Amino acid sequence: MDDPRNLLKPGTRTCRCSSCGEYFTAPSVFDLHRVGQYPGCRCLDPAEIDARGLTLDARGRWTASLRVTLPDRDRRFYPG
Ligand SMILES: [Zn+2]
């Protein structure tokens, strides 16, 4: 529990992937690091996540930057 990112507050939108252990600022950002269809789905590794246009914030969480083209259903989370 030394990692400060483990201290997720109640009600936060931050989520941690139980598979790869990475943190994401929102469930929609989490979805962007999962590829494939069950049972062949997997997590992208950090280099691949970066290549998708996600960036690490100051707290070490992956976040969607303006470089990311989000599916229409996610646009409401990232106005502008
Ligand atoms: Zn993962």
Residue 22 lies in a domain: yes
Q: What is the pLDDT of residues 60-76, one digit of tens each?
A: 999 986 555 555 555 55
pTM to 2 decimal places: 0.71
d(CA 15, CA 54): 15
Q: What is the pLDDT of residues 36-54, one digit of tens each?
A: 988 889 999 999 999 998 9
Residue 25 lies in a domain: yes
Please report the pLDDT score of residue 30 as a whole number: 94
Query: Considering its fold, how many domains does the chain have in total?
Result: 1
Looking from the CA of 42 toward its CB, the CA atoms found within 13 Å total 6
How far is the centre of ligand 1, averaged over its atoms, from the C-alpha of 15 (Å)?
10
State the residue range of the domain holding 56.
15-70
How far is the centre of ligand 1, averaged over its atoms, from the C-alpha of 46 (Å)?
9
Report the mean per-residue pLDDT for the chain. 82
Question: What phi-psi label fits residue 48: left (phi over 0), alpha (psi between -120 and 50 degrees) or beta?
Answer: alpha
How far is the centre of ligand 1, averaged over its atoms, from the C-alpha of 41 (Å)?
10
Residue 4 has phi, psi (to 5 degrees) of: -60, -20
The band of 1, judged by pLDDT with boundaries at 50, 70 and 90, is very low
